[in-house]
Amino acid sequence: MSPRSGTKIAEVIELLQREDGATLTELAVPTGWLTHTTRAALTGLRKRGYAIAVDRTDKLRGSVYWIELMEMSSDSYAAGSGARTPTDEAQPERPERAAGQRSRQPDPVDA
């Protein structure tokens, strides 16, 4: 699922899709986030399936981040779109908790 338009994370994705990418400062200033929050947002995007690449060789700008376009399997997030296709895997069954499964320990006062 792609983020709602107009959100800060949508703005971050848009900046990361630019041809020249974006630095942490270029991501943090328009969102109002601190740099550690911006890094956490990049981690969150990675967890969503976005391929975030980094280039640390630009000495003038610093580390530059961008979304790398790549082929992904049909059951994972599509790079840059956040769209996910459902899988055929069923959720694991959770055993029902039997009534009275927990045994109550007697209070020291009752003993």
Helix boundaries (H) for 1-111 = 8-16, 24-31, 35-47
The residue among 105 and 39 whose pLDDT is bigger is 39
Task: Report the alpha-carbon distance of residue 82 to residue 21 in Å, rounded.
Answer: 18
- CATH numbers and ranges of domains, the chain: 8-67 (1.10.10.10)
Residue 105's Cα: distance from chain center in Å? Answer: 43
Q: Residues 49-59, buried b or exposed e (16+ Cβ, 10 A)? A: bbebeeeeeee
pLDDT (mean) for 100-108? 57
**pTM, entire model:** 0.60
pLDDT (mean) for 62-68? 95
The residue among 92 and 46 whose pLDDT is bigger is 46
Q: How confident is the model at residue 82 (pLDDT cuts 50, 70, 90)?
A: very low
- What pLDDT is attached to residue 109? 66
pLDDT (mean) for 35-56? 96
Q: Which one, of 2, 20, 19, lies nearest residue 11 by Cα?
A: 2
